[in-house]
Structure 1
Amino acid sequence: MKTILVAINAKYEHEGLAAWYLKAACLNNGVDITVLQYSINDSNQKIWSGIIDEEPDVACFSCYIWNRILVQNLISDLKKVRPETVVVVGGPEVCYEGAEDDFKSYGADYVIKGEGENQLPGLLLKLKDQENIETVYRPSEDLEDKGYVSPFIPEYLDRINGRISYIESSRGCPYNCSYCLSSISRGLEYFPLEEIFGGINALVDAGAKVIKFIDRSFNVNNRHSLEIWKYIKRFSKENVTFHFEINPDRLNDEQMKILYEMPNGLIQIEAGIQSTNPETLKAVSRVMDVDLALENIRKIMSWGNIHVHADLIAGLPYEDMDSFKKSFNAIYSVKAHHLQLGFLKLLQGTRIRDEAEKHHYQYRSYPPYEVLSNRYMSPKEIMMLKGIEEALDRFCNSGRLNFTLDYVQTLFPSAFDLYHDLSLWLKERKWLFMPFSAIRLYELFRDFSLEAGADPEILESLLCLDYVCSLKTTAIPEALLNPNGSKAGLVALEPGDFADREWIDSVGRNQFRRRFIGLEGYCPVINGLNIEYKRSRAVVDTKDVDPVTGRAGLTVG
């Protein structure tokens, strides 16, 4: 019996775990299965050709919000040309009540709900023996539960060199957020630490670029999280980064201490705040001490050794525009390296979707089921926030304008007002949602900032410093260096302009020009809690790259 498992990832560099858990479980039960891995960026013809070439007796599909429509169409097409092929579908998009009817209408024969490791092997064995099975497969008790199944089989490890890989040390979530699919399941299971350590070793040895723990609330179990954080410190010399999704208000003194001691760039943390409105958080059953969460993130940011990703959700209950603006400004103020402004998705099976009528939700009827409007925000306001999301992602999250953004923000009442006005400015000039180059980004932000009242000389200096630090180059484009045809703002220095001639000679003048750039202009100088812009000299070392920010090192003075 030829069985294939079709897995279509959100991106090529993201190698999902589900298919490999299932294959490992099948192998453990003596069932052979072929995994076909694609991404949604692959052409439909490539995926279709791969399936047909296999001539499968059984075709299994792993279904998520990013591939649901494609998977349904593939099932429909497959049943037209190979009606004898048995189609099995599982994944988050089949967990809701009535999913079996939806997928059966496209031609699916069986639906597996919930965890598949102990279900798919049993189903395939029954199909092989030609037993009668219900459409929604439920495992029989005669299939032995073989405990933890490691997805890190050789076939998987051969694929992840230089890519993002995933690992989970626990499954489930102790919280009950109404918009999350994890709220559907009950319980929280922790996997054996020795198995997790073995998985980490295998992923590092295989050359994974990033190892992302997909635990929903990694740090809620103190001992478990500390043991893993202690273990990964041994990989500080390896070219790998570990990513964790944490609850920042649940970080205790022990956890903060070990995070403080982490080598620069070894880990990233993702902290979901979502909103600072107490009524909103209560409505979605999200339990959080927001003030403590923000305070802990600020502390971590002050250390400079950990990349911080903060999350904010637009479209939640009781969050009108004024409330959202407060949430945005509060979360932005912690200066996380990446602030993700996401939009509520009313996923099938979640409580927030069941309460849609209560809050007058209008949302897309197709994946990803994103909010269009609700009782608290009009369609125009949601679209306005979409523009802010675009401006935030391009100009802030890119990490290309760190110095300049700090300065330009002082020209606006708040950070929200800055990105609101920037998005409108881009929209008026037909640049919003349009692709543009790195140099165009700097030119656009320069023009916007000048119109907002920025000092031309300070702005020129900061833009050029940002340019050479973020692109790690010693060449500044002429248009950026002299936007008004004047050299009064910033001056590029020659090696001979520096007083420390011994240092220049030790580096070598030719090597200096390739690696370093000296500039004289208005540089940011931190004075207590404030940033002052004083005319001084700065040196950028393009080889001294911060592993946390990816920017070149800057020395002022």
Structure 2
Amino acid sequence: MKVLLTALNAKYIHTNLAVRYLKKTVENVIENIEIQEYTINHHSDYIISEIYKKNPEVLCFSCYIWNIEMILQITKTLKKIMPDTMIVLGGPEVSFETKELMEVNDSIDIVLIGEGELIFKELMTCLKENKDYSQILSIAYRTKGEIYINDRGQNPPLEEIPFAYGGEELDGDKIVYYETSRGCPYNCQYCLSSADRGVRYFPIDRVKKELKILIEAEVKQVKFVDRTFNANKDFALEIMKFIMEHNRGKTNFHLEVTADILGDEMLEFLKDAPVGLFQFEIGVQSTNEETLKEIDRRMDFEKLKEKVNIISSYKNIHQHLDLIVGLPKEDYYTFRISFEDVFKLRPEKLQMGFLKLLKGSGLRARAEEFNYVYSDTAPYEVLENDYLSYGAMIRLKGVEEMVEIYWNSRLFNTSIEVIIQNFYANAFRFFEELWKHWEKNGYHHTSHGKNKLYGILLDFYEEKHFQRLQVFKEVLKFDFLKNTRTSSIPSFLNRQQEDNFKNSCHEFLQQEANVAKYLPNYGNIPAKQIIKKVHFENFSYNVVELEVTPTRLNEVDQDQTIVLFDYDLSNKAIDHSKYYIVSL
């Protein structure tokens, strides 16, 4: 029996954890089993032709909100040209409203409901031995034109689930998804975790053994899919200590944590973490108390602020904070407050997600209560509700785009701080007005290169008639050079260099004392080699002072300032360069 496990990932750099679990679970049962990964950016005709050429007897798809529509289209076509192939679906997107799904798509033969590893093993055993599979718990199946949904079984003991990547030669350029637990201690009503309470943990000795394999493979990033990685504080700390102990400086670990429950021991430990080893995703979602109550989300925002600020002070961990647009009792005004509360923490990334009414979630069941209007097809994104009109949603989409381009890119930080702290009472208003400028000029119709984005921000500054344009140009040039290793800059940025400037830079690097003071990693390297890794720039104002204190825009005097940029950082999780004021 030939079995094909198929994944349609969101991006090429992603790996699918589910199909790997399934393959490992049945390797001793099914000899001829293969994984094939595509992306949603592939044309469906290409995927269909590739699957057809493999001619599987059993074809399995891993289903999520980002790929379900494409999978349903593909399976309908495949059933026409491969009518004898059994098509099996599994995953969170088909584990709810399963009968309705099978009724409208008769290409689906079997659906695995919930955690599928042991169900899949039982099903494959029955198919291989030509036995009746109709009594297997947690499956839906079609026979003689009728659809049957069996009772849900118990979730499998995690110690019986094999290591998903065992024996696999891992691609170091892809994100490796991994988990140490399943379930969540919380009951947030927008999340599927609310449908299955409690947390189960993989044996910690096993977790350490598997993480060591991933570290030694030097994969670029391990992204934990644990819903709340630090739900068990001792378990989380032990794993993170193990990671730090075996760190090779090649792998970054992305963890979804609940910040307000981080303890003193964890915070003390994080202080010494290498830059970029850990990356935190922290779900805030809203700071509006009425909203938090409606979605049954427990959070102490004051404690969260305290912990996030402490971690920020270490300057070694990228923090990614999330908000959700469209939650109950959150109108445009209260969302602005939530946004401002979070932006004041100055996270490396602030993500504005738009609420999706997922199948099986509490909010989907209560959609009529809040007059939710949402897309009929995945990802079921909310269009409007009692608190936000569709027009308001569009405006917030624009704000989200500006935050993504101008804040989350980390390319414009000093410039944005100068604008906000001198001309705006709050950051939300700045991003809102920047979006209006962006839309008015039609920039939303196409994508733009980095140089153009700096030019657009400068145009916005000029259009608003903000004071001290020449100073701001220098700040913009500073941002550009902080984040761009280049000898050329956009023509709209000022550049004042004397004829002998380049020679002076070489002479500076030829002085051992200078290299030892500013560039100790370049010891015993000739100046002609160092100059390729650094950049000197002459500024008309002390831009470094403005980065430290942006409110001094109207006070800073003209003052020739030479800044040395060093781009040779081993990890750029927080900054793209180091920079120093020097004298030539």
Fold match by TM threshold 0.5:
yes
- Distance change in 2, residues 1:550/1:529 (3 Å): closer
1:239 — aligned with what?
A: 250
- Distance change in 2, residues 1:100/1:539 (3 Å): same
Do the aligned residues in 2 keep the contact of 1:241 with 1:266 (CA within 8 Å)?
A: yes
1:493 Cα shift?
A: 4.9
1:363 Cα shift?
A: 0.8
Task: List runs of 5+ in structure 1 lacking aligned partners.
Answer: none
1:74 Cα shift?
A: 1.4
Partner SS for 1:480: coil
Structure 1 Cα separation of the partners of residues 202 and 25 of structure 2 = 16
Query: What do residues 37-56 of structure 1 show as CA deviations (whole Å, max 9, x unaligned)?
Result: 11111221221112101111
Partner SS for 1:525: helix
1:474 — aligned with what?
A: 487
1:323 — aligned with what?
A: 334
| 2:210 is the alignment partner of 1:190 | no
2:539 — aligned with what?
A: 520
1:426 — aligned with what?
A: 438
1:213 Cα shift?
A: 0.9
1:551 — aligned with what?
A: 576
Do the aligned residues in 2 keep the contact of 1:422 with 1:448 (CA within 8 Å)?
A: yes
Number of corresponding residues: 548
1:414 — aligned with what?
A: 426
Do the aligned residues in 1 keep the contact of 2:383 with 2:393 (CA within 8 Å)?
A: yes
Structure 1 Cα separation of the partners of residues 27 and 508 of structure 2 = 68
2:564 — aligned with what?
A: 539
Query: What do residues 55-80 of structure 1 show as CA deviations (whole Å, max 9, x unaligned)?
Result: 11111111100110111111111111
- Distance change in 2, residues 1:475/1:95 (3 Å): same
- Distance change in 2, residues 1:246/1:278 (3 Å): same
1:147 — aligned with what?
A: 160
Do the aligned residues in 1 keep the contact of 2:567 with 2:578 (CA within 8 Å)?
A: yes
1:38 — aligned with what?
A: 38
Moved more, 257-266 or 471-480: 471-480
1:552 Cα shift?
A: 1.2
Partner SS for 2:14: coil
Do the aligned residues in 2 keep the contact of 1:167 with 1:199 (CA within 8 Å)?
A: no
TM-score, length of structure 2 as denominator length: 0.88
Q: What amino acid is the match of 2:315?
A: G
Q: What amino acid is the match of 1:542?
A: Y
Q: What amino acid is the match of 1:496?
A: S
| 2:476 is the alignment partner of 1:463 | yes
Q: For 1:502, which of 498, 508, 511 is the aligned residue?
A: 511
1:547 Cα shift?
A: 2.7
Structure 1 Cα separation of the partners of residues 310 and 281 of structure 2 = 15
1:69 — aligned with what?
A: 69
- Distance change in 2, residues 1:471/1:139 (3 Å): same
Do the aligned residues in 2 keep the contact of 1:11 with 1:39 (CA within 8 Å)?
A: yes
Q: What amino acid is the match of 2:164?
A: P
Q: For 1:404, which of 391, 415, 418 is the aligned residue?
A: 415
- Distance change in 2, residues 1:512/1:82 (3 Å): closer
Structure 2 Cα separation of the partners of residues 284 and 526 of structure 1 = 42
1:95 — aligned with what?
A: 95
Do the aligned residues in 2 keep the contact of 1:408 with 1:454 (CA within 8 Å)?
A: no
Do the aligned residues in 2 keep the contact of 1:216 with 1:245 (CA within 8 Å)?
A: yes
1:550 Cα shift?
A: 4.5
RMSD: 2.5
Query: What do residues 326-369 of structure 1 show as CA deviations (whole Å, max 9, x unaligned)?
Result: 00011011111111111000011111011111111111111111
Structure 1 Cα separation of the partners of residues 490 and 153 of structure 2 = 68
Structure 2 Cα separation of the partners of residues 24 and 139 of structure 1 = 23
Q: What amino acid is the match of 2:110?
A: Y
Structure 1 Cα separation of the partners of residues 575 and 550 of structure 2 = 24
Moved more, 78-87 or 521-530: 521-530
Structure 2 Cα separation of the partners of residues 256 and 526 of structure 1 = 30
1:146 Cα shift?
A: 6.6
1:544 Cα shift?
A: 3.7
Structure 1 Cα separation of the partners of residues 439 and 171 of structure 2 = 40
Q: For 1:437, which of 445, 449, 463 is the aligned residue?
A: 449
